[in-house]
C-alpha cells in the first residue's frame, strides 16, 4: 500500500506544485488505484509516475471547490481514450453528479466504461468490498466537505507449523484450509481446529484523508488510531486568523489533530501558493514541534505504508 501526491498546492498551482490530488495504491486488489480529489492537471501528473490510469477503480471527491475537482472531466475522458473498460465509481458531495453530467454532455464526451456517481448525503459507511472499508464524515469548511477513512480488513495470522508438524500434518492443501479458517479432520477421526493453530490476526492498515477543514470533531474521529493521516496545512502558525476565516488549518492545528488522534504518521499538504519550495521545511518544522512524526508531502513521491507484521519484524 502506497500514497502518491499528484498535487499539494492550495487554491491554484504554482510552478513547483500542482493542485490537490492523492492516489492510494492498494495491494489486495491487484494494484488497483483509488484517487482522492482531482484538481486541474492531475492526469498530467500521473504521466510522470509509474501509476496507470487504467487501474483507477474508485475516485473520492472531498468537496466541489475547483482546485479539488476541475481535473475530473479530462481524467475520465482520458481513461476512456486509453481503453479503460472496467467500471468506475465516483463518490462525493451532492452536486457532483450535476457537475459531471453537464461537463460530459456539453463537451460531447462519451465514456466506454460503466460509470456511477454516488452522492454522499450523510456521514457513515461509504463502501465495504475487496478487503477494505471506507467511511466518511463531514468536515468544517466553507462548503460541504468530507473526509475519508480507509481501513484494510484484518488478515488471518500465520499457521503454527510446529503444532501441525507434531500432529503429523504435512504441508499442502490442508494448510490452506486451516489458513482459511476451516477445521481439519484427520484420518484417525481427530479434528484440528483452525483457531488452535492460527496465530492472532494481523491488523489492517488505516489511512485517513481529509479535505479542506478547520479543526473539527469529524476529522478527529476519522483519524483516530490511523497509520497515516493526510491533513491540510494551508497556512503557517502565524496565520491562524486567516485559516479560520477561509475554513482551513495551520501547521500547528494539523499536528494537534494528529496528536489527539494518536496516529502513527502525519503527512501535511494543501500548502498556500504563498509558500515556495524553500519554505516547506519551515512548515514541516512547525508541525514537528507538536507531532514529531510529520512530513510535508512531496509530489510524485511514493509514501509506503508498511503492514503491522512488517513493522513488527523490523522492530
Binding site for Zn(2+): residue ranges? 63, 65, 67-68, 141, 212, 270
In three-state secondary structure terms, 28 is coil
Query: Annotated catalytic residue: which of 67, 89, 183, 227?
Result: 67
| Annotated binding residues | 63, 65, 67-68, 141, 212, 270
Could you give the count of Cα atoms lying within 13 Å of 174 in the half-sphere of its Cβ?
A: 17
| C-alpha cell read off for 74 | 479530462
Give the orientation angle of helix 96-106 with respect to helix 72-81, to 10 degrees: 60
The verdict on whether 67 is a catalytic residue reads yes
Residues 251 and 263: their CA atoms lie apart, in Å, by 16
Give 117: exposed, middle or buried? Use CB within 10 Å, 0-12, 13-18, 19+.
middle
Strands 21-25 and 294-296: unpaired
Q: Which of 153, 276, 130 is nearest to 204 (CA)?
A: 153
The C-alpha angle 9, 14, 15, rounded to 5 degrees, equals: 130
Residues 193 and 181: their CA atoms lie apart, in Å, by 8
| C-alpha cell read off for 261 | 488522534
| C-alpha cell read off for 175 | 494448510
Instruction: Outline where DSSP puts E strands in the chain.
Output: 2-7, 21-25, 33-36, 56-60, 88-92, 115-119, 124-129, 132-138, 146-152, 184-185, 191-192, 206-209, 228-232, 265-269, 294-296, 302-304
* Residues noted as catalytic: 67
Amino acid at each position: 500500500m502506497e500514497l502518491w501526491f499528484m498535487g499539494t498546492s492550495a487554491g491554484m498551482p504554482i510552478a513547483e506544485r500542482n493542485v490537490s490530488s492523492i492516489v492510494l495504491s492498494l495491494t489486495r486488489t491487484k494494484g488497483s488505484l483509488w484517487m482522492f480529489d482531482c484538481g486541474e492537471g492531475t492526469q498530467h501528473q500521473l504521466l510522470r509516475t509509474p501509476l496507470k490510469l487504467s487501474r483507477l477503480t474508485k475516485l473520492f471527491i472531498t468537496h466541489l471547490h475547483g482546485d479539488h475537482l476541475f481535473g475530473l472531466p479530462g481524467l475520465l475522458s482520458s481513461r476512456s481514450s486509453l481503453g479503460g473498460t472496467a467500471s468506475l465509481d465516483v463518490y462525493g458531495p451532492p452536486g457532483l453528479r450535476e457537475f459531471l453530467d453537464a461537463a460530459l454532455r456539453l463537451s460531447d464526451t462519451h465514456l466506454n466504461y460503466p460509470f456511477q456517481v454516488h452522492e454522499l448525503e450523510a456521514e457513515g459507511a461509504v463502501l465495504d468490498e475487496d478487503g477494505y472499508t471506507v467511511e466518511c464524515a463531514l468536515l468544517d469548511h466553507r462548503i460541504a466537505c468530507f473526509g475519508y477513512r480507509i481501513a484494510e480488513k484484518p488478515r488471518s495470522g500465520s499457521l503454527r507449523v510446529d503444532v501441525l508438524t507434531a500432529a503429523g500434518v504435512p504441508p499442502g492443501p490442508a494448510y490452506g484450509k486451516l489458513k482459511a479458517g476451516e477445521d481439519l479432520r484427520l484420518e484417525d477421526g481427530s479434528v484440528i481446529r483452525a483457531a488452535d493453530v492460527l496465530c492472532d490476526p494481523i491488523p489492517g492498515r488505516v489511512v485517513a484523508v481529509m479535505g479542506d477543514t478547520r479543526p473539527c470533531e469529524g476529522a478527529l474521529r476519522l483519524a483516530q488510531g490511523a497509520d497515516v493521516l493526510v491533513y491540510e496545512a494551508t497556512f503557517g502558525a502565524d496565520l491562524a486568523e486567516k485559516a479560520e476565516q477561509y475554513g482551513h488549518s495551520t501547521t500547528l492545528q494539523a499536528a494537534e489533530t494528529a496528536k489527539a488522534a494518536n496516529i502513527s504518521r502525519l503527512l501535511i499538504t494543501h500548502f498556500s501558493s504563498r509558500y515556495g519550495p524553500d519554505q516547506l521545511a519551515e512548515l514541516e518544522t512547525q508541525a514537528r514541534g507538536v507531532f514529531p512524526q510529520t512530513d510535508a508531502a512531496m509530489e510524485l513521491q511514493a509514501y509506503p505504508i508498511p503492514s503491522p507484521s512488517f513493522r513488527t519484524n523490523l522492530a
